Amino acid sequence: MNNYFAHETAVIDEGCRIGEGTKIWHFTHIMSKCKIGKNCNFGQNVVVSPEVELGNNVKVQNNVSIYTGVTCEDDVFLGPSMVFTNVTNPRSAVNRRSEYSKTHVGKGATIGANATIVCGHDIGPFAFIGAGAVITKTVPAYALMVGNPAKQIGWMSEYGHRLEFDQQGVAICKESQEKYLLENNQVRKA
């Protein structure tokens, strides 16, 4: 007996490891050799390509494609219809399966609806990628990224609130009251 839930229309290929409490909904396909953590949730019509690795408590909304070469740490949110790529120069007539680029998404990061993550560019912990953004470069921890191509317009707290830094480089999250420090264009929790 499985210790996870899979809707009757979901397809789970051989050789996958799926953690306890994970839910896989309508028309989702988890392909071979994937490693899925505990308490993840997959909306409908999700495709997870072979050998993808996802941590615990990853939320994957409807119509998301996660291609080979992607890894996500714990508590990552993947918004509706966002997509990862795994080849920078795809051609229908040219097989590039041996050239897949890797993309790593850090703990607690959010990727908004309809965003595209061009392969080979990692997303730092707790980064926040706005809806429709196209990521074409590596994203630092806590960065707020918007647009096409995406540009950094600020910093976000671990609770998903924009941080406003004072003259000393200190910001307080309005929800958690946690303190953040901005030093050398990098943010860390105090």
Which residue ranges does the chain devote to CATH 2.160.10.10?
1-156
**Residues 8-49 pLDDT 10s:** 999 999 999 999 999 999 999 999 999 999 999 999 999 999
In this prediction the pTM is 0.96
State the amino acid at position 42 in one-letter form. Answer: F
Which residues, 6+ apart, have CB-to-CB distance to 92 below 8 Å? Answer: none
For the chain, give percent helix, strand, coil, nearest 5: 0, 35, 65
The CATH homologous superfamily to which domain 1-156 belongs is: Hexapeptide repeat proteins (2.160.10.10)
What burial class does residue 73 get, using C-beta atoms within 10 Å of its C-beta: 0-12 exposed, 13-18 middle, 19+ buried? buried
pLDDT of residue 1: 58
**Residues 124-160 pLDDT 10s:** 999 999 999 999 999 999 999 999 999 999 999 999 9
Residue 109 contacts residue 123 (beta carbons within 8 Å) = yes
